[in-house]
Chain A
């Protein structure tokens, strides 16, 4: 009996010891939690690489955020509002940066880090990483949309988008004449705002005239020739069913599926479609002849002869204001965004670098024959409105411009302006 008790006591002590050991940190190395957007695993690889390079100064652990950008923003904003100290590093979508910076949720970027991470970075990416003329995040990768097209369709219409920029009207006429569909994102989601913004910016306007103004003073630039021209293009594509029957629910992936079908002609989409199409060919879902027929060019122009302002996206790295390891987090961020890491990430995950020199990497050039077009597109790209009230502006646009077939240049810009202004003043619900 006694022996049994002793055995139980021994086992208990061992179990307790093991439990305590599991609770206690294995060493005193600071652990940095990096909240990443979902990708093909490239950010986790970079975390591991930088952990190894740090030589024990810190260890980066990755925690994956929800899939869509709005949900990522929601989760981060709620945690940061509760002063969550577990947020050391976060992958942030540029349009949501002003809101977090304005609320004081981001730790200031040290001068030396700011200098180091802004060298040879695309201008659009630097703008997207800043708020109020100050760098508040570290540029990581910068995305932009290209015009993807089937060479056979373009040739039949007498167009060569690779050498001469095409206009939206030309693209629409080609689809109409050849009974084809256009790959655009008409879903009531962030992707739709991206399209609206690109059209307004390409027509020489801007959705928000004074992005840094307080909510009640925000002025919109939709009731302008640029706003009306954007509405005309979207309305025409919707009414003439040029986007196909799936347009009102079509996101980037659905656009790609449509483009890969027989009815596909032109598509505006992010560069991730290139590795996706290649993978489909490797899997046998698509013929190599399809891939050979795919061409790419800079985003279509709204007005012939006026350079287009393609969508700008990407991810920047923010450091949480409540993190207990701010210095280490900035060291880690500087490591993650090294040009060679950005190039490697582009090759593995298809997300283009913010660093302009990373495009010269031979592997990048080999994997992405359109790398130079992407770099050019990034230089022309225009970000979405950089305002702390971006969410309201974006959702307000989606409420008033959806479905695409309902968009009317004489009515929609004005309705949209009235609605968004009322929402920002707290007079209307979204």
Chain B
């Protein structure tokens, strides 16, 4: 952050090798302002990650401290060679892809509604749409669990007219139905977030471009495809990236609803179960490190796919 501020504030290095006093002072100020945040960031993110990397090189169980032994990359070998890990990775990716796809469409529709709403209704609408996002994830997970649970739930009796749903349907006894409820609760909970980000993107689309397209006789769909969507590419990328990372780290819903039963174990639950449940610090750290690497890969893929130049979007070029 500090480095960028310096570059933005001062003239280019190539053209003017020697910075003016003012530029240097600004750069210094930049460091002073951003420095503490930088140190705090290092302390709260880099330190635990490095500690996890270090711990992952040992066979270490919390209740057998004397048996601690250096195993190198042995833990990674065990994790990567285990079908449980790959199955968890598959389930996590499936949940991520489905939720992000649904949320993107739903969120965009909601953003359009909010964007076009009559001024008087706009505040009320935004508040109403944001309510699910304001609810604590564990609380919403319990609400969905109790709604679908076979002994306490009301969903079966309300929707028994739908083919496939009956009083005897135990949603949390099968993989497909469990994943359906988990994904539905995730979509319900976080669509407001994506719609809010997309609303910000919609607000950035220049009105005169839309008007010009309308004058030229473009249909609604053509205006969306050629004017609105290309102009909010950065907002869509941010929304997809944030939600994809969020969905990849899913934990609460699965923990509350199935606790990993019926093949619904996700990566973060596997890491939790190994580190906290089994107290296997080494093995659990290896899973956490692999989870972290997956997150980096997702960031990389998202930025590559969208080819968005965030500096350009900020108007720095």
Contacts and interface: CB of A to CB of B under 8 A. Distances in A.
Contacts of B20: none
Contacts of A426: 59, 78, 283
Interface stretch (A74-82, A167-175, A355-363): A74-82
B278 A248 contact: no
Contacts of B283: 426, 429
B64 A430 contact: no
Contact of A402 (B65, B84, B261, B274): B261
Given A77-B279, A392-B278, A429-B270, A248 B65 contact: no
Interface in A324-348: none
Contacts of B63: 77, 81, 99-100, 102-103, 105, 388
Contact of B150 (A100, A103, A245, A427): A245
B295 interface: no
Contact of A258 (B65, B151, B172): B151
B173 A428 contact: no
Contacts of A250: 151
B169 interface: yes
A188 B85 CA distance: 19
Interface in B257-280: 258-262, 270, 273-274, 276-279
Contacts of B151: 246, 250, 254, 257-258
Nearest to B168: A245
Tier of interface size on chain B = 20 to 34
A388 B65 CA distance: 13
Nearest to B64: A103
Contacts, number: 85
B82 interface: yes
A428 B261 contact: no
Contacts of B172: 248-249
A429 B85 contact: yes
A249 B260 CA distance: 12
Interface size class of A (residues with CB under 8 A): 20 to 34
B168 A429 contact: no
Nearest to B282: A426
A391 B173 CA distance: 23
B5 interface: no
Contacts of B273: 395, 430
B277 A429 contact: no
Given A74-B277, A249-B173, A403 B64 contact: no
Interface string A63-93: 0000000100010011001000000000000
A258 B270 CA distance: 32
A267 to B, nearest CB: 14
With most chain A CB atoms within 10 A of its CB, the pick from B64, B151, B262 is B151
Contacts of A246: 150-151, 170, 173
Nearest to A81: B62
B79 interface: yes
A258 B169 CA distance: 15
A403 B173 contact: yes
Interface string B134-170: 0000000000000001110000000000000000111
Interface in A224-252: 245-250
Interface in B59-83: 59, 62-65, 78-79, 82
Closest 3 CB pairs of A and B: A248-B173, A188-B261, A245-B168
29 contacts: A74-B279, A77-B63, A78-B62, A78-B276, A78-B279, A99-B63, A100-B63, A103-B65, A105-B63, A189-B259, A245-B173, A246-B170, A248-B262, A249-B173, A249-B261, A250-B151, A254-B151, A391-B277, A392-B278, A395-B273, A402-B261, A403-B261, A428-B82, A429-B79, A429-B85, A429-B270, A429-B287, A430-B84, A430-B273
Given A247-B173, A248-B262, A254-B151, 10 more contacts: A81-B63, A188-B260, A188-B261, A249-B150, A258-B151, A395-B277, A402-B261, A428-B82, A430-B273, A430-B274
